[in-house]
Amino acid sequence: MTRDENVRTVRLLLDLVNRQAFDRLDEVYAYDIVDHDPAPEHGGGFDGIQRYFADLSEAFPDLHLEEDVLIADGDHVALAYRLSGTQRGRFHGVAATGHRVETRGMQMSRFAGGKIVERWGAVDDLAILGRLNVSVPS
């Protein structure tokens, strides 16, 4: 794939998440993806990524990801994004609060065969918990 095709695929990922089209994540992620930073409760690999997005959208039904910065070089794409939503379901054990949250996240992806085969990433869960008025250890 070309650099531009990789960029389009990352933007497709944002669109799929924003539309909660998680049944189409296989258009973006390889089934044998190596996830260097999986959410502990979801596990790694493609199934873990699907569970992560499904649980996140259950907690935040109006989940929205927005691109801030996107840099592509060769078979890698780095994305800085904003995540926003209103908590209507459980998030990290916290019952629904109705609070709106916004935080930032980052993901770096390596592509092969037109799909993401390796990812590194983080989202600021502590900032989200703080916006939900949950005390977090310093």
* DSSP string of 37-105, one letter each residue: S--TTT-SHHHHHHHHHHHHHHH-TT-EEEEEEEEEETTEEEEEEEEEEE--S-BTTBPP---EEEEEE
pLDDT-derived band at 87, boundaries 50, 70, 90: very high
φ/ψ of residue 63, rounded to 5: -50, 135
DSSP class of 36: S
Between strands 100-112 and 64-73, the pairing is unpaired
Q: Using an 8 Å Cβ cutoff, are 128 and 46 in contact? A: no
Enter the tokens of residue 95.
């019952």
Segment 72-90 shows an average pLDDT of 97
Q: Is 26 helix (H, G, I), strand (E, B) or coil?
A: helix
pLDDT reported for residue 96: 95
CATH top-level class of 3-131: alpha beta
Hey, what are 122's tokens?
Answer: 């983080």
Q: Determine the pLDDT at residue 88.
A: 98
Instruction: Summarize the confidence of residues 72-91 as an average pLDDT.
Output: 97
pLDDT, tens digit, 9 for 90 and up, residues 92-131: 889 999 999 999 999 999 999 999 999 999 998 888 988 9
Q: Where are the domains of the chain?
A: 3-131
Residues 32-61 pLDDT 10s: 999 999 888 888 899 999 999 999 999 999
- The predicted pLDDT at position 138 comes to 66
